[in-house]
Amino acid sequence: MSRSHPRLMTGGALLVLAGLSALSSGMAAAADAGSPQAVIEVRQASFKKMGAAMKTIVDQLKTDAPDKARMAAAALVIGSYTAEVRGWFPAGSGAEAGVDTDALPYIWEARAKFDAIADRLAPEAKTMTTVLAGDDMAAVRAQAKTLGGVCSDCHHSFRAD
């Protein structure tokens, strides 16, 4: 049994459990996804969860007393999805599928570039978790900017807004 502050433990634990539940749901849906529509739905739902987690981190950093437990839980949610990103874009899951998607055809035309950016997510999410374990809020802010930069690099190249 942990001796952590109950409020922090409960809030952080709930975020982690919600993120891991979402991950397992997304992975199960992806495993059963036989159609481009199903693949696109899994990818969109998963990116929304990652985006919400990143928003949690950014919003906490805007407060006078950022809640490190909430930010750490959000970083774990982001990290839990990073290994899946490359698999969310199989051939045939772009606009040609006839399903609404913001994924640009450039993903499949420049697959090596896309994969390289996707591969940067996991180490940056892990670094975010590591710096949150310390007491250096300047390092946390810098890492949030770096992690957000990876997301932005992908959005600018491969997503229609």
Sorted by where each starts, the structural domains of the chain and their CATH numbers stand as 6-158 (1.20.120.10)
Under the banding of pLDDT at 50, 70 and 90, the label for residue 33 is low
Note the pLDDT of residue 6: 39
Question: Cα–Cα distance between 59 and 61 in angstroms, integer?
Answer: 5
Angle between helices 36-61 and 6-32 (to 10 degrees): 160
Whether 8 has a pLDDT exceeding 80, the answer reads no
Question: For the residues 139-143, what does the mean pLDDT come to?
Answer: 98
Question: For the residues 149-160, what does the mean pLDDT come to?
Answer: 96
Contact 143, 131 (CB under 8 A): yes
Note the pLDDT of residue 136: 96
> Which uninterrupted H or E stretch holds 125?
helix 111-132
Please classify residue 140 by burial: count the beta carbons closer than 10 Å to its beta carbon, then call 0-12 exposed, 13-18 middle and 19+ buried: buried
91-116 in b/e burial notation, b at 16+ Cβ within 10 A? eebbeeeebebebbeebbeeeeebee
